[in-house]
Structure formats: structure tokens, C-alpha cells
């Protein structure tokens, strides 16, 4: 009998996929299935999947056209034969005991979701491991109905200190299938967050354990232009407003949080323009910024009183008075600062694994 289904969305993971699969094959728990969902990879990922499927009968391959991460994950959930599902990203790996420990807590506490701590690995530099220091993982904690909503789900309105990722969590399959109504509004940014917040709002009990059992490769600080960034930011803000209205009785504190997050992300949108050659021309770039300022969500967030004390006055003044030149220059400064950080990260990534 399969005790747990592990869903791995695969897209051009390359050699990193092997480390991931090997860590799943080596699990202490043997009664599991490993579902590798190939999302139209154009490299040799599918061949790697087939190689290990021949060696281990617990591995199931689903090969499909490219549809993106969320649809790929959901396909795996639908195909899962267990009532418990864990996601593992194809370029990450896990501790040999993760399945056993999450499953034991799921059964012991009759939980809907069990969450473990993680290690952050800077690509190849495995010597640099940083455990998640969030207070949610000080000790084992059991959150019941009201606490799940007020302490976990609500955290996502304030910079999501509770992990927003889908990995390092064991879910009841039925919860995953019954959630996801917000995802059609999101292209990429925040898809994990909005899936998770819906799952949490439907959960009666969530357990967190302090052990770091999942190793994820830090992405972040991307040097690529994100065409979807502004639209996803706006869609996310609208989704969060809807959730606050439905589940939190229009709590002003949470409106404060999402307004701050919106304008913080707006700064990223400004620097993001410098990553695209199409916006190399100052008039074109500034015309886009002008379009941003016309969006009603920006205007709405600006009216929030908490925003007035959180951000620099010159930034808020520039938005309110359409000082596009100032905002363009701010985007350039943020882009240059990010470029320096990316250079440091590239140096770190070249360190040898020990």
C-alpha cells in the first residue's frame, strides 16, 4: 500500500535532476510512489526520468506538453494514488528521513498539512547552507483551525514569514484538489503563495516540525527580465483583498500589509525594466512607468496610512505627483545594486562542494 505520493515537476532540470531522484529513491519509507511529471523539457530530463524508472518500479513518468509549474503539479496530484502528497522541485534534494517524519506527524496529529524546516543551498556551493530561522520552526507546533488562519495564512499578508513554497510540506491530496481557484489570475509570481493560502484557509490542523529535511537551491536575484511581474503584482493584490474581505472581516492591519508589499514590488518593477533591451530608450521606459502609475491599485495602496510611515517620502511624492524621471532613476539605482549582488552570488556558486 502506497503511504505517500511524491510529485516532481520536471522542466529542463538537467543533471540536478539525478541528485533529486536519488534522494527520493533512498528514502527510509519504502511504500511510496515517485511521480515525475515532465513538462515538455527540451533537454535530457526525460531520458534521466526513464533511466531511473527502469531501476525502480515506484517511479511513474507522466510526459506532457509544456504548461507551466502549477498545471504540472496538479496533473501529478490527480495521478497520485495516495491520500498524502509531497512536492519536490527537480533541482532540489531531500533528507533520507523526510517522508517518514512528515508522514508520522500527519497520522499522529490527524493533520491536513505538515511542514518541516529547510536548508538554503546557493546552487553548487553546498558548503553554504542556511537553515530557515523563522520562529515557526523553534519547536514542534500544532496549529488548530483559528490559529491556522490567524497565525499562518495571515502571515502571507505581511511579507509571508511563514514559508510560501509548496515544497517541504506534506498535504492531504483532497485539499490540493479542492484548492487553486486563484491560480488562473497568476502567470508565475506568487503561484505557490496563492495555492498555499487557499489550502491553509481550508485546513483544520497544521503541524510544523523544527528539523531541516529539505535542501533547496536558492534562485532569487534573477538577472532576467520578468514580463509578467507588474500584472502578477496587481493580480496578487486583488486576490489578497478578496481573501481579507472573505476570511478576515476587512481587517485594516492586513490591508496595511498588502499595500506595503504592493509598493515594495512596484520598486522591483521599476528595476525590472532595465533588464529588457526593448526598454533601453528612456522615453519608452518612462512611458511604461507612466502606464504603471495609471493603475488603480497603485493609487489605492498609496492612500493607505501605513504606507506613509513605511516608505521614504520622496518615493511616495514621486508616485503621487507622477515624477516619472525620479522613479526611472530609482529603478536604475535598484538595478545596479541588484547587479552587484548577482555578481557576488556568481562568485559564491563557484565554490567547491565539501
Under 8 Å between Cβ of 90 and 13: yes
Please determine, for residue 348, whether its predicted confidence score (pLDDT) is greater than 70. no
**50 falls in which pLDDT band (50, 70, 90)?**
very high
Please determine, for residue 354, whether its predicted confidence score (pLDDT) is greater than 50. no
pLDDT value of residue 285: 97
Q: Which three cell numbers stand for residue 168?
A: 517541504
Mean pLDDT, residues 15-29 taken together: 97
Place of cell 530530463: 45
pLDDT value of residue 121: 87
Mean pLDDT, residues 118-126 taken together: 74
For residues 208 and 191, which has the higher predicted lDDT (pLDDT)?
Answer: 208
Mean pLDDT, residues 220-248 taken together: 87
Q: What kind and span of H or E run contains 120? A: strand 113-122
**291 falls in which pLDDT band (50, 70, 90)?**
very high
Please determine, for residue 112, whether its predicted confidence score (pLDDT) is greater than 80. yes
pLDDT value of residue 273: 96
pLDDT in tens, 75-95: 999 999 999 999 999 999 999
pLDDT value of residue 219: 65
pLDDT value of residue 44: 96
pLDDT in tens, 152-204: 999 999 986 799 999 999 999 999 999 988 877 776 677 888 899 999 999 99
Q: What kind and span of H or E run contains 100? A: helix 98-109
Q: Measured between alpha carbons, how far is 85 from 336 in angstroms, rounded to an integer?
A: 41
Q: Which of 47-56, 161-170, 201-210, 333-342 has the lowest mean pLDDT?
A: 333-342
pLDDT value of residue 352: 46
Please determine, for residue 217, whether its predicted confidence score (pLDDT) is greater than 60. yes
Average pLDDT of the chain to the nearest whole number: 91
Q: Measured between alpha carbons, how far is 154 from 203 in angstroms, rounded to an integer?
A: 13
**235 falls in which pLDDT band (50, 70, 90)?**
very high
pLDDT value of residue 87: 98
Please determine, for residue 127, whether its predicted confidence score (pLDDT) is greater than 60. no
pLDDT in tens, 128-150: 566 678 889 999 999 999 999 99
Mean pLDDT, residues 66-72 taken together: 91
Please determine, for residue 20, whether its predicted confidence score (pLDDT) is greater than 60. yes
**Sequence-ordered list of residues with C-beta below 8 angstroms from that of 46, at least 6 positions apart, any chain:** 10, 38, 61, 63
Catalogue all structural domains in the chain, each as residue range(s) with its CATH number. Answer: 4-217 (3.90.550.10), 229-349 (no CATH)
Q: How much of the chain, in percent, has pLDDT values that exceed 70?
A: 90
Mean pLDDT, residues 17-35 taken together: 98
CB burial readout 195-216, b (16+ within 10 A) else e: bbbbbbbbbebbbbbebbbbbb
Closest CA to 8 of 59, 67, 50: 59
pLDDT value of residue 343: 47
**Sequence-ordered list of residues with C-beta below 8 angstroms from that of 139, at least 6 positions apart, any chain:** 210
Q: Which of 30-34, 45-49, 127-131, 222-226 has the lowest mean pLDDT?
A: 127-131
Q: What is the pTM assigned to this prediction? A: 0.90
Place of cell 502549477: 70
pLDDT value of residue 8: 99
**220 falls in which pLDDT band (50, 70, 90)?**
low
Amino acid at each position: 500500500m502506497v503511504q505517500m505520493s511524491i510529485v516532481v515537476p520536471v522542466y529542463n532540470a538537467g543533471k540536478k535532476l539525478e541528485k533529486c531522484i536519488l534522494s527520493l529513491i533512498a528514502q527510509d519509507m519504502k511504500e511510496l510512489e515517485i511521480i515525475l511529471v515532465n513538462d515538455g523539457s527540451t533537454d535530457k530530463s526525460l531520458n534521466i526520468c526513464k533511466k531511473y524508472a527502469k531501476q525502480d518500479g515506484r517511479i511513474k513518468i507522466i510526459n506532457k506538453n509544456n504548461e507551466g509549474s502549477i498545471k504540472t503539479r496538479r496533473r501529478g496530484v490527480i495521478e497520485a494514488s495516495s491520500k498524502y502528497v509531497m512536492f519536490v522541485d527537480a533541482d532540489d534534494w531531500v533528507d533520507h528521513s523526510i517522508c517518514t517524519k512528515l508522514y508520522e506527524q500527519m497520522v499522529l496529529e490527524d493533520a491536513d498539512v505538515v511542514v518541516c524546516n529547510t536548508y538554503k543551498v546557493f546552487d553548487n556551493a553546498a558548503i553554504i547552507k542556511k537553515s530557515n530561522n523563522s520562529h515557526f520552526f523553534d519547536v514542534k507546533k500544532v496549529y488548530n483551525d483559528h490559529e491556522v488562519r490567524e497565525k499562518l495564512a495571515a502571515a502571507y499578508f505581511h511579507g509571508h514569514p511563514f514559508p510560501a513554497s509548496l515544497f517541504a510540506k506534506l498535504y492531504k491530496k483532497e485539499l490540493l484538489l479542492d484548492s487553486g481557484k486563484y491560480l488562473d489570475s497568476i502567470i508565475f509570481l506568487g503561484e505557490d503563495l496563492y495555492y498555499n493560502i487557499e489550502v491553509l484557509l481550508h485546513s483544520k490542523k497544521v503541524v510544523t516540525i523544527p528539523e531541516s529535511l529539505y535542501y533547496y537551491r536558492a534562485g532569487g536575484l534573477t538577472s532576467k527580465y520578468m514580463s509578467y511581474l507588474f500584472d502578477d503584482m496587481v493580480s496578487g493584490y486583488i486576490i489578497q483583498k478578496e481573501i481579507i474581505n472573505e476570511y478576515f472581516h476587512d481587517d485594516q492591519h492586513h490591508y496595511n500589509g498588502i499595500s506595503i508589499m504592493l509598493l515594495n514590488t512596484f520598486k522591483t518593477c521599476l528595476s525590472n525594466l532595465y533588464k529588457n533591451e526593448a526598454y533601453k530608450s528612456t522615453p519608452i521606459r518612462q512611458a511604461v512607468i507612466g502606464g504603471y502609475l495609471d493603475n488603480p491599485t497603485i493609487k489605492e495602496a498609496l492612500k493607505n496610512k501605513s504606507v506613509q510611515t513605511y516608505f521614504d517620502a520622496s518615493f511616495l511624492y514621486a508616485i503621487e505627483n507622477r515624477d516619472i524621471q525620479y522613479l526611472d532613476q530609482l529603478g536604475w539605482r535598484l538595478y545596479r545594486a541588484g547587479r552587484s549582488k548577482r555578481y557576488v552570488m556568481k562568485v559564491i556558486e563557484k565554490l567547491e562542494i565539501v
